[in-house]
Chains A and B, each alone.
Chain A
């Protein structure tokens, strides 16, 4: 079964750090670009970050640039999002997603919740 499973969410204080993971299975992970998308409670979807299939190219939304780092380990079939200098506005469910074709995401994880609060 093709699957993405996120982990690593939780409660963190403002200014703190957190690393999210996304474990892929059921497909050749190293062949696909991957993305992170977030959704604040009761709000719409917000694009966060992208990484190419070999990890050589990355992209960040302006809202997280300089604070978040996307990476991947193709030997472990795992995508990461290192989040730093966290703010209240970063509180959201974070989804990882597989890129089918030019920013069309055909496989999504179930999401992991990040809560930023003192």
Chain B
């Protein structure tokens, strides 16, 4: 079973700053990696699929990159609504990165 490790566990930033979240797979997953955003009390929302494709309705400030074992989710300029928990997934999920307001 593939293990996904996300870093950092918590990221403290201010609105307007750039956020970089990492996800490392225990073995190659090619480009089959997705990213989700989850806010308290809500279901996860798909942001990125196939490592770099934005899902329908996702703002352009969200971008994904990587292949093989190392992946990155970048939020170019944080909006107040972006503070949430982010998960990467390739069947199994990473443990999540909490993006909090500094």
Contacts and interface: CB of A to CB of B under 8 A. Distances in A.
Interface residues of B, number: 23
Interface residues of A, number: 21
Contact of A102 (B46, B50, B92): B50
Interface in A22-58: 37, 44-47, 50
Interface in A60-115: 61-62, 95, 100-106, 108-111
Nearest to A102: B32
Contacts of B50: 101-102, 104
B80 interface: no
A103 B44 contact: no
Given A47-B93, A102-B50, A95 B32 contact: no
Nearest to A104: B49
Nearest to A101: B49
Nearest to B44: A108
Interface in B18-42: 32, 34, 36, 38
A108 B91 contact: no
Nearest to A59: B91
B67 interface: no
A47 to B, nearest CB: 5
Interface of A: 37, 44-47, 50, 59, 61-62, 95, 100-106, 108-111
Q: Which 4 A-B pairs have the closest CB atoms?
A: A104-B49, A108-B43, A104-B34, A45-B93
